[in-house]
Amino acid sequence: MTALAEHEGDVEPEAAHLIRSARFRAEREDDWQRLDALLRRVERRGIRSLSFAEAERLATLYGKTLTALSIAREISLDRNLLTYLEVLTARAFLAVYAPQQTLRGLLRRLLVYGIPGAVRRTGGAILFAALALFLGGLAGFLLFQDDPTWFNTFVPAGLGGSRGLGSTEAELLEVIYSGADAATDQLGAFASFLFSHNTRIAIFVFALGVVFCMPSFALTFYNGLIIGAFFGLHADRGVAYDLFGWLSIHGVTELGAIIIACAGGFHLGLGVIFPGRMRRADALRARGRDAVKLAVLAALMLLVAALLEAFLRQRIQDTELRLAIGWGIGLLWLAWFLLSGRRPA
Amino acid sequence: MTLAASPPRRRGPLSAWRAWRERRRERAKERGPRRLLANYLPPEGVPLNFVVAGLGSRLVAQIIDIMLTLIGTLAFIVLLNLTDAVPQTALSAIAALVFFFARIPYYVMAEILWNGQTLGKRILGIRVISADGRSLSAHAVTVRNLMKELEVFLPIGLATAATRMEALWAVISLLWVAGLIAIPVFHGRRQRLGDMIAGTYVVRTPKAVLLPDLTAEEGGASAAQFAFAPHHLDHYGRFELQTLERLLHQQPGRQRRAALRRRNELMAEVAGTVAKRIGFTEEIGESSAEAFLRDFYRAQRGYLENRKLLGDAREDKFHRDPESADR
pLDDT digit string, tens, across residues B88-104: 666 776 777 787 788 88
The verdict on A286 touching B (C-beta cutoff 8 Å) is no
Q: Compute the mean pLDDT over every residue in chain B, rounded to the nearest whole number.
A: 83
Q: Is the four-CA dihedral B227, B230, B232, B236 of positive or negative sign?
A: positive
Q: What does DSSP assign to residue B9? A: P
Of A32, A39, A38, the C-alpha closest to A83 is A32
| Residue A210 to residue A216: CA distance in whole angstroms | 9
Percent of the residues in chain B that have a pLDDT greater than 70, as a whole number: 87
The verdict on A196 touching B (C-beta cutoff 8 Å) is yes
For the ranges A207-211, A221-225, B68-72, B322-326, which has the lowest average pLDDT?
A: B322-326
For the segment A60-66, the average pLDDT, to the nearest whole number, is 95
**So what's the pLDDT on residue B63?**
94
pTM confidence score: 0.79
For the segment B108-115, the average pLDDT, to the nearest whole number, is 90
Highest mean pLDDT among A38-42, B12-16, B172-176: A38-42
Q: Assign A6 a pLDDT band (cuts: 50, 70, 90).
A: very low
Apex CA B64: angle with CA B58 and CA B69, to 5°? 125
**So what's the pLDDT on residue B2?**
44
Binary contact (B142, A296; C-beta < 8 A): yes
For the segment B72-78, the average pLDDT, to the nearest whole number, is 89
Of B136, B110, B135, the C-alpha closest to B123 is B110
Nearest CA in chain B to A83: B208
The verdict on A304 touching B (C-beta cutoff 8 Å) is no
| More reliable by pLDDT, B150 or B64 | B64
User: Pick from B44, B230, B304: which is nearest to A77 by CB?
Assistant: B304
For the ranges A89-93, A259-263, B51-55, B248-252, which has the lowest average pLDDT?
A: B248-252
ipTM of the complex: 0.81
Residues found in chain B? 327
Phi, psi of A338 (to 5 degrees): -85, -30
By the 8 A CB rule, do B127 and B117 touch? yes
| Residue B290 to residue B292: CA distance in whole angstroms | 5
Residue B194 in this model has a pLDDT that exceeds 90: no
- pLDDT tens for A169-191 read 777 777 777 654 444 445 555 55
Using only C-alpha atoms, chain B has a radius of gyration, in whole angstroms, of 29
| Residue A32 to residue B317: CA distance in whole angstroms | 33
Phi, psi of B202 (to 5 degrees): -110, 125
Whole-angstrom CA distances from A88 to A94, B73, B207, B273 are 10, 38, 8, 36
User: Pick from B135, B214, B221: which is nearest to A97 by CB?
Assistant: B135
Residue A39 in this model has a pLDDT that exceeds 90: yes
By the 8 A CB rule, do A326 and A251 touch? yes
Percent of the residues in chain A that have a pLDDT greater than 70, as a whole number: 85
Q: Determine the angle formed by the axes of helices B154-161 and B167-186, rounding to 10 degrees.
A: 140
By the 8 A CB rule, do B247 and B293 touch? yes
Binary contact (B46, A67; C-beta < 8 A): yes
For chain B, how many helices (H) and strands (E)? 14, 4
By the 8 A CB rule, do B248 and B294 touch? yes
A chain contacts of residue B115, beta-carbon cutoff 8 Å? 94, 98-99
For the segment A252-257, the average pLDDT, to the nearest whole number, is 91
The SS3 assignment for B200 reads strand
- Taking the CA of residue A184 and the nearest CA in chain B, the distance in Å comes to 6
Residue B35 in this model has a pLDDT that exceeds 70: yes
Residue B134 in this model has a pLDDT that exceeds 60: yes
Q: What does DSSP assign to residue B203? A: E
Whole-angstrom CA distances from B317 to B27, B226, B233, B292 are 21, 22, 11, 20
- Secondary structure E strands in B62-146: 126-130
- Taking the CA of residue A105 and the nearest CA in chain B, the distance in Å comes to 11
User: Pick from A26, A97, A288: which is nearest to B143 by CB?
Assistant: A288
Residue B150 in this model has a pLDDT that exceeds 70: yes
Of A78, A68, A46, A43, the C-alpha closest to B44 is A68
The verdict on B199 touching A (C-beta cutoff 8 Å) is yes
Residues 6+ apart with CB under 8 A from A177: A242, A317
Which residues, listed in sequence order, are joined to residue B201 by a DSSP beta bridge? B129
| Residue B83 to residue B240: CA distance in whole angstroms | 69
CA A64 centroid distance within chain? 39
Q: Assign A160 a pLDDT band (cuts: 50, 70, 90).
A: low
Using only C-alpha atoms, chain A has a radius of gyration, in whole angstroms, of 32
Of B208, B134, B210, the C-alpha closest to A87 is B208
**So what's the pLDDT on residue A209?**
78
The verdict on B242 touching A (C-beta cutoff 8 Å) is yes
